[in-house]
Amino acid sequence: MKIVKTIKELKALISRLKEEKKTIGLVPTMGALHQGHISLITHIRPQVDILVCSIFVNPTQFNDSDDLIKYPRPIEKDKQLLKENSCDILFHPSVEEIYPNNEPHWHLELGELENIWEGEHRPGHFQGVTQIVYKLFESVRPDIACFGQKDFQQVMVIQKLIELKKLPIKLSVCPTLRNQEGLALSSRNQRLSAKGLHEASEIYKSLQYVQKNICDKTPQLLIQDVKEKLETNSAIEVEYVAICEVKSLHEVNVIDPTKKHVILIAVWLEGVRLIDNLLLN
Ligand code: AMP
């Protein structure tokens, strides 16, 4: 596995590979890799000649400085995992490399996506996400880029970035990988105690409860049940939970059987913010 630290070196390497007509896949990450990340790699590995994975804890997408400081960075362990999973190129730049002093202002017209759910609760988050992903897309020029459904709204934002910038990139979306108790794998789970990890598995159970009862109760009642279940039986504090139509992410009061819906949730537990979602019908 080749480890690249600068954009210049990465672009030169990619140009050579493109001349050789190699197809390229990209998996962007912030590191502290777990099997969820690895599932993205295993998914696109057979579809491309060259697999690029990036590890960069992107400061511009953090609206909470404490979260940025505490974000785990076990780089040696990550390198080992990537080697074991047939990654060809690891792009692991410094913050100075990605954001030099003369960095131009970044703003992408994301429309409503920017002001709802994750956008509302993490102001500036999706501008930061698109800023870094666009830089990665420009440098790697991948044929396929893989993202996780775990970050449901992020996938929609990346799709919008691809459309707005007219990029010839196929977006591949992988299902959420969970632990045995159902908790979605996340780098932030490392910051939970054993008790917290166990309590956090209630999140998925409550999403499954909604999925099971979606035809029998109104969305409002189901949401109320979820909040009550989580907040009375555990230390979980719900930031938002909503049943939405998948294309617009607008919250619904009634389920239209001709449309698809998703439940989105964000919670706080032991000072850690966790998100999850589940397609409902
Ligand atoms: P992150 O390092 O958290 O920015 O995540 C990098 C990529 O991995 C994103 O596309 C995430 O959606 C995806 N990802 C994170 N956790 C999971 C998971 N449990 N299952 C599948 N994909 C995931």
Ligand 1 binding residues, C-beta < 6 A: 29-30, 36-37, 39-40, 147-148, 150-151, 174, 176-177, 184-187
pLDDT at 47 over 90: yes
Alpha carbon nearest to ligand 1 atom 17, residue: 36
- pTM of this prediction exceeds 0.95: yes
pLDDT at 177 over 90: yes
Whole-number pLDDT of residue 200: 97
- Distance, CA 36 to ligand 1 centroid (Å)? 6
Whole-number pLDDT of residue 281: 81
Q: Which ligand 1 atom is at minimum distance from the Cα of 175?
A: 21
Q: Are strands 237-245 and 261-269 parallel, antiparallel or unpaired?
A: antiparallel
Grade residue 190 by pLDDT with cuts at 50, 70 and 90.
very high
Nearest to 133 by CA among 21, 28, 46: 28
- Distance, CA 82 to ligand 1 centroid (Å)? 15
Catalytic positions, written as ranges: 37
Helix/strand number for the chain, H first, E second:
10, 9
pLDDT at 50 over 90: yes
Mean pLDDT of 31-35: 98
Q: Which ligand 1 atom is at minimum distance from the Cα of 31?
A: 2
> And the tokens for 173?
């979306």
Mean pLDDT of 52-75: 97
pLDDT at 233 over 90: no
Alpha carbon nearest to ligand 1 atom 5, residue: 29
How far, rounded to the nearest angstrom, does the alpha carbon of residue 229 sit from its chain's CA centroid?
26
Alpha carbon nearest to ligand 1 atom 12, residue: 148
Q: Which ligand 1 atom is at minimum distance from the Cα of 184?
A: 19
Grade residue 147 by pLDDT with cuts at 50, 70 and 90.
very high
Q: Which of 29, 87, 161 to mutate to test the pocket of ligand 1 (most atoms within 8 A of CB)?
A: 29
Grade residue 6 by pLDDT with cuts at 50, 70 and 90.
very high
The CA distance from 2 to 164, in Å, is: 32
Mean pLDDT of 148-174: 98
Whole-number pLDDT of residue 194: 97
Whole-number pLDDT of residue 52: 99
Whole-number pLDDT of residue 115: 96
Whole-number pLDDT of residue 82: 98
Mean pLDDT of 198-213: 98
Residue 254, number of CB atoms within 10 A of its CB: 9
pLDDT at 102 over 90: no
The answer to whether 274 touches 151, Cβ cutoff 8 Å, is no
Q: Which ligand 1 atom is at minimum distance from the Cα of 28?
A: 6
Q: What is the DSSP string of 173-209?
A: EEPPPB-TTSPBP-GGGGGS-HHHHHHHHHHHHHHHH
Whole-number pLDDT of residue 70: 95
